[in-house]
Structure 1
Amino acid sequence: MTSPYAQAGFGAGFDWGPVGAEVVAGDIVAVVDVLSFTTSVTVAADRGIDVYPYRWRDETAVAYAQEYGATLAVGRSAAGPGDVSLSPASIRGVTGITKLVLPSPNGSTIAKQLSDSGATVIAVSLRNRQAAADWVSRQRSAGGRVVAIAAGERWPDGSLRPAVEDLWGAGGFLSALRRDDLSPEAQAAVAAYEATKDELPKYLHECAGGRELTAYGFAADVDVAAEVDQSEVVPVLVDGRLFRST
């Protein structure tokens, strides 16, 4: 019997986190992590840098980066001048790299998890939500199901913290698809985006995630995340790497 949580019967769905990504499967899955991973990926793709998702920055990540001849991102708070991290502003300023292993427990983990699922996986943020929707529409001439997965964040106990910025990002992407076969969950995400789209930069700075980044000195990352529709790239996951597609 089909799971009642799978949003079966709808052409476009929406859910949260790694578990939602497993339950609500799609032919095309858009991973959305607005204040961290997918915004960083779009900035990297704008600069011609391929991104290799990874779950954690540990010894295995070091070996993984060496295997592909890639630079391993440092922790956001550990980055010094010239270092690259999960901060999109740091990626925008880095020079001399073409491959980047970018670990994170949320968006990057979900992308890595989906790499062997058989789905086409793309990285979506507010920066490229329209470009991604246009790209998906071009891929769907033979039909197929589209799912947006909001990465969310983590509470100190490791449980999922639904992050409203990822709801807005997923809703913005689903809204741009202009489809009438959205699941109720996807419709709710669209409604959240439509209610805030005219003042998104303000809301991104005022939401919990934006306030957290600002408090830790990363307000510039919120500014980059708020560049709605400023990127035309669509990073697509193939053979473990997210690379630029237009």
Structure 2
Amino acid sequence: MGAGRSGPPRRGGRLCGHRRRAVLHHGGERRCRGGHPGAAVLAAGRPCRPGRAGCGRGGRHRLCPTVGRAAGRRPPCRHTPDSPWSLSPAHLRRAPFVARLVLPSPNGAAIAAAARPQVRVVAACLRNITAVGSWLTAHGHGTPRHPVAVIAAGERWPDGSMRPALEDLLGAGALICDLQAQGAGSLSTEAAAAKAAYEGTADLTRAVASCASGRELAATGFVEDVAIATEEDTCTVVPVRDSDGAFAPG
């Protein structure tokens, strides 16, 4: 079991090289507020499709606005009566039902969209750790034959460069802890370090609220999103990417 660096999976490399490897995209409070914003969507019974920021995909899919994300800034979430969807799970919980929804972001969604079609991609966060861990072990993943790569999606600095995200590291560590408790195989050094970071954090809610992402969200009026992100194990939805490239309950 490996935990990779923040950022998109390396094509043909250790993270995505095996045809049967399960790639766990983990996002913390920013692209996974409420789970992955996809967990909030799937909990409401609608499939969601990941997309790169600025992909402009529409058609039969409703597209969440992500103004500013391509430049590494938090989008203003300009939801309107005509377009009430955004990457905020608090907004998504109140938004009307749509059959399919595109959730674009430059990190988490881009990672999911970039993974090869034959790679199984599951979205995990602090809110659905036990459900995801149980699903993976029930499907035979987390073994030397079928390893799991846990990818902490990371964030962006204002100039667009990658920024490590504490919330994603802790979420990855939480999933790794759960998989080990369910009898998963040996850990890579990186996975063991993520697990240790999670186990060594006494107050998870306070840590996420006081980290760079938590402070930024609070400063821009999204304190509710931070609170939702740290509701540990309150969600039983397991978002699994299907053959159409959309996430649906596994």
TM-score (normalised: structure 1): 0.86
Amino acid at match of 1:104: S
Q: Aligned to 2:41, which of 40, 44, 53?
A: 44
| Partner Cα separation in structure 1 for residue 133 and residue 24 of structure 2 | 10
Q: Structure 2 unaligned runs (5+)?
A: 67-74
Residue 157 of structure 1, CA deviation: 3.0
1:105 aligns with 2:110: no
Contact 1:36/1:88 (<8 A) preserved: no
Alignment of 1:110-125 (within 5 A): 110-116=111-117, 118-125=118-125
Partner of 1:151: 153
Alignment of 1:135-214 (within 5 A): 135-140=135-140, 143-178=145-180, 179-196=184-201, 198-214=202-218
Partner of 2:70: none
1:31 aligns with 2:25: yes
Contact 1:21/1:149 (<8 A) preserved: no
Residue 130 of structure 1, CA deviation: 1.2
Aligned residues: 226
| Partner Cα separation in structure 2 for residue 18 and residue 113 of structure 1 | 11
Q: Aligned to 2:2, which of 5, 10, 13?
A: 13
In structure 2, the residue corresponding to 1:102 is in which secondary structure?
A: strand
Q: Percent identity?
A: 37
| Partner Cα separation in structure 2 for residue 119 and residue 200 of structure 1 | 31
More helix by share: 1
In structure 1, the residue corresponding to 2:203 is in which secondary structure?
A: helix
Task: Tell me how large the CA RMSD over aligned residues is.
Answer: 1.7
1:77 aligns with 2:72: no
Residue 104 of structure 1, CA deviation: 0.2
Residue 243 of structure 1, CA deviation: 0.6
Deviations for 1:171-193, whole angstroms, at most 9, x for unmatched residues?
10111001350101000000011
Moved over 6 A (4+): none
